[in-house]
Structure formats: C-alpha cells, structure tokens
C-alpha cells in the first residue's frame, strides 16, 4: 500500500470492567499496528484503571449517553479511519488489516463505512439459549446485509468509517439515547456506500438474554422510528453486567 492510514478506535465505556479487557486484548493482537485506542469513560468501577494498564487513552466525561461519549472520542481522534466499537465486542485477529486493504482499494473509493460479520459470543448465554440466539444472530446478519443497500443501514456495534465522510455528515445526535447509531448512519449513508466484509467479530447478546429478545427488540424498534423521524429519544437502559468479573 502507498500509505498506512491510522485507525482511531473509539470505545464508549461505563462500568465495563468485565467486558473491556477481552476487547482490548483482541485489539492488541491485531496484525495491523497503526492505530490508537480512545475510551470515552464515565465509569465508577475499575474500568479506567484497567484501560490505562493496557495503554489506552482515557477521556473522562460526565455520564450522559453513548452519543456524547462517541462524539468526545471522535473529536480527539487523529486517524483517517474511525472505528466505532462497543466495549463488549471481540475482534478477529486480522480485522484491522482487512479494513485498511478494503478501504485502500480504488474500487471501493465510494464506500464510506464497512462492518465485519457479526458472530455470537457465548459468554453471557445460558446453554439452553444458544441455539435460539444463533438463529437470531443469523437473522440480524441477513437484515444488516440487506439494509446496507438502503438509506437506513442497520450498522451498529463495530463499524469502520472514513473520517472525511464523518465530518461531512456530522457527529452523533446527543438528544438520542437509544438508536443513535441508526440516525447517525442514515446521514453517513448519504456520503457513500456501506459494505460488510468477511472478517468477523464476536458480539454479546447480554441484554437480549437477560431481558428477553422480544422486549429488547421492541425497544430498539420504537427508538429507531423516533430517532429517525423526531431526532430525539430519551430512554435509560438498565445496566447489564456479569456477576463475576472477567480476568484482567
């Protein structure tokens, strides 16, 4: 490649001491090394201490919502590629390298955002629920793939965006607590195409497992409709955490 663009990883964190170590380890194992990690943190537990131990840049912010956290991280970012990653994801080892190669390819110059294939993390699931959530994950995968051809892409959790396109589309709307990504990515979609690559990430279904997939899905549905049409939505989720802390 003619250039080696920097990836700025933005992670919003609030009391994620049981999850974020797995994410950071998966970032440290990446074959592509030109990246920075910025955590926008409002935690009251040991999360910031863990992050600093891993060498992550921590921005302390008031506890508001994930939109404000992501905006704070984006404003500090120095990379040409913005990676918006939730704290409970685990990345495939060669993901960053695949992202850079894809966006560097002249054939993909109109692509402004790419997302790896979502796969199931089993850590927060009961054994009896594994088959059900594997099926749900496949439905979500198909829904995402189809939506990327529309003007309302179902992108969330782990997305890599061109910084110049983010600047043109504007930052996250801080009036939206839930489905903020839906509103943001609908604006980013006007700047170019969305694509899904073969590399995968493991995503947690902790909320779906704890509170029920139907209830959680309905909340996200109504939040999405509100976010898209009124540009406002206020709703505070109950925090879902593991009872036992992850190994740090």
pLDDT of residue 244: 54
- The answer as to whether 88 is a domain residue is yes
Yes or no: say if 46 and 56 are a contact pair by the CB < 8 Å rule: no
Mean pLDDT across 224-247: 70
Burial 214-233 (b: 16+ CB within 10 A, else e): eebeebbeebbebbeeeeeb
> pLDDT above 70 covers what percent of the chain?
92
Instruction: Check whether 162 has a pLDDT greater than 90.
Output: yes
pTM listed for this prediction: 0.90
Q: In 3D, which of 11, 31, 30 has the Cα closest to residue 19?
A: 11
Please give the structure tokens belonging to residue 157. Answer: 């959790």
How far is the C-alpha of 83 from the C-alpha of 80, rounded, in Å? 10
From 71-80, 95-104, 220-229, the region with the lowest mean pLDDT = 220-229
- The answer as to whether 2 is a domain residue is no
Instruction: Check whether 2 has a pLDDT greater than 70.
Output: no
**How many domains does the structure of the chain reveal?**
1
Domain limits for position 115: 7-229
- The answer as to whether 52 is a domain residue is yes
The CATH number covering residue 186 comes to 3.90.550.10
Instruction: Check whether 217 has a pLDDT greater than 80.
Output: no
- The answer as to whether 238 is a domain residue is no
pLDDT of residue 237: 67
How far is the C-alpha of 233 from the C-alpha of 178, rounded, in Å? 7
- The answer as to whether 234 is a domain residue is no
Instruction: Check whether 240 has a pLDDT greater than 70.
Output: no
Instruction: Check whether 83 has a pLDDT greater than 50.
Output: yes
pLDDT of residue 62: 92
Instruction: Check whether 247 has a pLDDT greater than 70.
Output: no
pLDDT of residue 1: 45
């Amino acid at each position: 490649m003619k250039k080696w663009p920097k990836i700025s990883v933005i992670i919003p964190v609030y009391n994620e001491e049981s999850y974020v170590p797995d994410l950071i380890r998966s970032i440290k194992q990446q074959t592509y090394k030109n990246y920075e990690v910025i955590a926008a943190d409002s935690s009251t537990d040991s999360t910031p201490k863990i992050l600093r131990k891993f060498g992550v840049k921590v921005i302390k912010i008031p506890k508001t919502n994930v939109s404000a956290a992501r905006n704070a991280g984006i404003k500090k970012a120095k990379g040409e590629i913005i990676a918006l990653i939730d704290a409970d994801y685990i990345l495939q080892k060669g993901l960053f390298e695949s992202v850079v190669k894809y966006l560097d390819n002249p054939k993909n110059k109109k692509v402004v955002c790419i997302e790896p294939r979502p796969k199931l993390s089993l850590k927060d699931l009961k054994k009896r629920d594994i088959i059900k959530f594997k099926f749900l994950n496949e439905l979500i995968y198909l829904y995402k793939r189809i939506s990327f051809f529309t003007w309302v892409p179902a992108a969330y959790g782990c997305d890599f965006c061109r910084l110049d396109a983010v600047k043109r589309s504007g930052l996250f709307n801080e009036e939206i607590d839930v489905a903020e990504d839906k509103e943001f990515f609908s604006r980013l979609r006007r700047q170019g195409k969305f694509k899904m690559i073969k590399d995968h990430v493991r995503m947690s279904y902790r909320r779906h497992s704890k509170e029920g997939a139907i209830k959680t899905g309905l909340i996200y549905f109504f939040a999405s409709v509100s976010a898209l049409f009124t540009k406002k939505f206020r709703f505070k989720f109950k925090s879902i955490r593991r009872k036992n802390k992850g190994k740090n």
